[in-house]
Amino acid sequence: MMEIINRELSWLSFNDRVLQEALDDLVPVVERMRFLGIYSNNMDEFYRVRVANIRRMIALKKQKVDGFDGTSAELYQEIRDVVIEQQQKFELAYRKILRALVKERIHHTDEKRITLAHKKELSSYFHEQLKHAVFPIILDKKNPFPKLRDYAIYLAVKIVEKKDKIRYALIQIPTDFSRFYQLKKGEDIRIILIDDIIRLYLKEIFSIFEPVEINAYTFKFTRDAELDLDDDLTLSFIEKIEKSLKQRKKGIPVRFVYDEKMPGDLLSYLLHALNLKAGINTIPGGRYHNFKDFISFPDFGRPEFVYPKQLPCKVPQFEKGRGIIETILKEDVLLHFPYQRFSYIVDLLREAAIDPKVKEIKINIYRVASKSEIMNALMAAVFNGKQVTVIFELQARFDEENNLYWSDRLKEFGAKVIYGFPNLKVHSKLLQIKRIKDNKEQFITYIGTGNFNEKSARIYSDFAYLTSRTEVSNEVRKVFRLLESHIEPIAFRKLLVSPFNAKRRLIALIDREILAAKKGKKAGIKIKLNNLTDQIMINKLYQASQAGVKVDMIIRGICCLIPGKKGLSENIKVISIVDRYLEHARFLKFENSGKPEYFITSADFMERNLDKRIEVGVLVESPNVQKELDLIFNYQWSGSVKARLITADFKNQYRRTDIPTFHAQLELYKYYKKIEEVE
């Protein structure tokens, strides 16, 4: 069996790196709180998707688990043990952040520690606003247990009436209000969660029962999020998606996180009602849950509590007084978000919408913002008589409803809308604009690593390659024809297209480095990805290491490859950067005996990306863009402040003590700012 690290345990190690940011005193205090929110949100999705899949493996009695010396049931228990350990670290981080805030005269308070003056203010807030959004549900064995919402937070209420009669109830924490309410007095600020404001008025909410004692305990649970697209031939694909989205809301619970102080009788009641088992599906925790809301934790108007503002930089090529289209016709441009402006892409589409020479615009969409300037620009192009074709991926997990909404809007406006590709998700990031000038076709082509989403482009680090090169543009045209007509693809020379030629080409590129190393020629591989799980690619990288090829990798998330193992991977070094921006760009460089080849791509080295999705990477031949890609990788490879060494023991050791201090993301921003100012 090939030596690899288990995928789920590697992912948990990545989320532990997110927790490290919450514990890091170098991170501004409110940003640390927000990292707790990111950790929590990540964990929700992990349980909804990956852990749900392991539970299906257990149900099918599937014993073999890649990278784990045990059964699927034992892996499930191992995950639970790791999560409980991380939960303790999470609580520690939360307490540390609260102590840091106290030093700034900002205090977290609850319903038991507020003054009479604050009670008066909270009474006004509760009775005039919050009360009307609180709908208690009495739990009665005579009535079916209510259908609870995933992602919601609930208060489980235990009511003790006269003569020791016990009654249970539920309250969902309202989602239309900020989770945080600020109470001010002089220079001091007290922040109270609306969970505790509701607790303050529990006796009033349940006054008809005349409670002698009443307490509330937070819990949340996570459902299996897998869409089940059944084989009902009477339904269209869109109808199947819509039906599956409704079923997702009724999915099997896979995790129940609760206040560890919840009384045993109330806990037993809830677990029985939800058909869960204590110690298997359950994770004990603190008083508060759904920390994903803490992504929106207030900054109290204190700039030192958050990262310094870094406005996206201008791109010199686009600031020379000519149009964006005209610029790309003259030279290739690499955009690096969020360091540089994503708005150039919206401007490109707006320019195309009114350019008389533009005849067609084609784009493929995986995720877009709910309020999307990209979509609005495409609709403007339709208004101006352009032929607009949009390929939507309706199975973009957790964005299905948003994509359905925008596809309907575009169809109403007259765009040609196509839904994906049979049996393959379309994950590529392509845009192509066709012009006719002097009876000749011109193409402006965009190949990216991230989504056409101006919101995520503010926090996701991604590349966008803009070119008018004929060979690249013609091959991207082939990809669009493939997506539109589902014909078999023709050969690609400049593009890596999954699942058709990408894996084969990548293996050939690595083999070429192996051969060069054996001949004593210059050999080396540089890789930047989100995830590395594909066992064929891992094995090929092991072979490269054994042949003497130096492999440097920056892997943000899952890494199933074991680096630095003597006789196996001693020439492979892997680091991970977790910082202010989410590293999402994918980049490859092969030394090729001193004539290096560079690629950017939408695909990670995962089975799903290389074998089960439409992904597109491109050979970058512009010397200026190659130089920029080298600079970006070298900056990040030199990083120490936010870089961790990836090892099989999951220690996530910082590189701070190994190399000179260098904050890669901060230094990259300084570089782009300097270029902007020089121009």
Q: Which of 445, 460, 490 is the last residue of a domain?
A: 490
Kind plus residue range of the DSSP H or E element containing 203: helix 202-205
| C-alpha span between 245 and 238 (Å, rounded) | 11
Residue of 12, 90, 24, 23 lying closest to 286 (CA atoms): 90
Q: What is the CATH number of the domain that holds 444?
A: 3.30.870.10
Angle at 88 between CA 82 and CA 93, to 5 degrees: 120
Cα separations in angstroms, 569 against 8, 549, 550, 590: 21, 10, 10, 18
Domain residues for the domain of 336 are 316-490
Count of Cβ atoms closer than 10 Å to residue 176 Cβ: 7
C-alpha 465/C-alpha 471 separation (Å) is 14
Does residue 2 sit within a domain? Answer: no
Is the same domain home to 327 and 294? Answer: no
Is 505 contained in some domain?
Answer: yes
CB 619 within 8 A of CB 645: no
Contact 555, 636 (CB under 8 A): no
Statement to judge: residues 486 and 535 lie in one domain: no
Pair (512, 391) in one structural domain: no
The partner residues of 416 in beta bridges, in order of sequence, read 389
Tally of domains within the chain? 3
pTM for the whole structure: 0.89
pLDDT band, very low/low/confident/very high, at 245 (cuts 50, 70, 90): very low
Is residue 137 situated within a structural domain? yes
Radius of gyration from C-alpha coordinates of the chain = 27
Yes or no: say if 403 and 394 are a contact pair by the CB < 8 Å rule: yes
Q: Identify the three-state secondary structure at position 219.
A: strand
Q: Which residue has the higher pLDDT, 479 or 282?
A: 479
Distance CA 597, CA 516 (A): 14
pLDDT digits 0-9 by tens, 376-426: 999 999 999 999 999 988 764 555 777 788 888 888 989 998 887 778 888
Report the distance separating Cα 639 and Cα 641, nearest Å. Answer: 6
Q: Does one domain contain both 577 and 516?
A: yes
- Cβ atoms of 460 and 448 within 8 Å: the answer is no
For tokens 């989602």, what's the residue?
A: 175
- Six token digits for residue 202: 């529990």
pLDDT grade for 95, boundaries at 50, 70 and 90? very high
Work out the average pLDDT over 659-663: 89
- Pair (282, 348) in one structural domain: no
Sorted by sequence, the CB contacts under 8 Å of residue 316 that are 6+ apart come out as 675, 676, 679
Question: Which residues have C-beta within 8 Å of that of residue 205, sequence separation ≥ 6?
Answer: 134, 136, 171, 198
Phi-psi region of 164 (alpha: psi -120 to 50; beta: other; left: phi over 0): left
The CATH number of the domain where 234 resides is what? 3.30.1840.10
Please give the average per-residue pLDDT across 39-66, as a whole number: 83
Q: What is the mean pLDDT of residues 589-593?
A: 98
304-336 pLDDT tens trace:
999 999 999 999 999 888 899 999 999 999 999
Asked which of 257, 278, 305 is the last residue of a domain, the reply is: 305
Residues 583, 664, single domain; the answer is yes
Distance CA 19, CA 440 (A): 55
Give the bridge partners for 588, in sequence order.
527, 599
**Average per-residue pLDDT for the chain:** 90
| 176 & 111 share domain | yes
pLDDT over threshold 70, residue 187: yes
CA dihedral angle for residue 259, residue 264, residue 270, residue 276, rounded to 10 degrees: 90
Nearest Cα to 195, choosing from 181, 182, 207, 210? 181
How high is the pLDDT of residue 566? 95
Predicted confidence band of residue 489 (pLDDT cuts 50, 70, 90)? low
427 assigned to active site: yes
CB 343: neighbour CB atoms within 10 A?
Answer: 13
Given the DSSP bridges, would you call strands 582-583 and 460-467 parallel, antiparallel or unpaired?
A: parallel
Helix (H, G, I), strand (E, B) or coil at 253: strand
In a domain, 1, yes or no: no
pLDDT at position 276, please? 80
The answer to whether residue 311 sits within a structural domain is: no
For 89-94, the CB contacts below 8 A with 24+ separation are 89/16, 89/19, 89/23, 90/19, 90/22, 90/36, 90/39, 90/291, 91/285, 91/286, 92/23, 93/19, 93/22, 93/23, 93/32, 93/36, 94/36, 94/286
- The answer on 577 and 591 residing in a single domain is yes
Position 152 scores a pLDDT of 81
Predicted confidence (pLDDT) at residue 366 exceeds the cutoff of 90: no
pLDDT score, position 277? 77
Shared-domain flag, residues 266 and 414: no
The answer to the question of residue 310 being in a domain is: no
Q: What is the pLDDT of residue 404?
A: 81
**Is 91 in contact with 22 (CB distance < 8 Å)?**
no
Helices (H), 490-622: 502-518, 535-546, 607-611
Burial degree of 210 (CB within 10 A; 0-12, 13-18, 19+): exposed
Which positions ≥6 away from 108 have C-beta within 8 Å?
98, 101, 190, 191, 192
User: CA of 153: how far to CAs of 88, 150, 194, in Å?
Assistant: 20, 8, 11
Number of H helices, E strands in the chain: 19, 27
> Which among 375, 335, 377, 333 is positioned nearest to 352, based on CA atoms?
377
- Do 320 and 251 lie in one domain? The reply is no
Q: What percent of the chain has a predicted confidence (pLDDT) above 90?
A: 69
| pLDDT higher than threshold 70 for residue 663 | yes
Query: 184, 454, 217: which is closest to 298 by C-alpha?
Result: 184
Start-to-end Cα distance in the chain: 56
- DSSP track, 612-643: SEEEEEEEE--HHHHHHHHHHHHHHHT--SSE
DSSP string, 141-183: TTSPPP-PPTT--EEEEEEE-GGG-EEEEEEEPPSSS-SEEEE
Inside any domain, residue 13: yes
The whole-number average pLDDT for the span 440-468 is 96
| 512 and 659 both lie in a single domain | yes
Helix (H) or strand (E) holding 434: strand 430-437
- Pick the catalytic residue from 427, 486, 584, 663: 427
What percent of the chain stands above pLDDT 70? Answer: 93
**H/E segment holding residue 202:** helix 202-205
Strand 282-285 relative to strand 333-337, pairing: unpaired
User: What whole-number distance in Å separates Cα of residue 409 and Cα of residue 387?
Assistant: 16
Tokens of 120: 């008066």
pLDDT over 90 at 341, yes or no: yes
Give the pLDDT of residue 434: 98
Same domain, 216 and 155: yes
For residues 618 and 332, the answer to whether their CB atoms sit within 8 Å is no
CA of 463: how far to CAs of 55, 177, 372, in Å? 37, 36, 19
Write down the residue that tokens 């980049």 correspond to: 587
Q: Which of 490, 525, 545 is the last residue of a domain?
A: 490
Whether residue 280 is predicted with pLDDT greater than 80 in this model: the reply is no
Contacts of 213 (CB under 8 A, 6+ apart): 159, 160
Q: Is residue 286 part of a domain?
A: yes
For residue 360, give Cα distances in angstroms to 436, 558, 666: 10, 39, 39
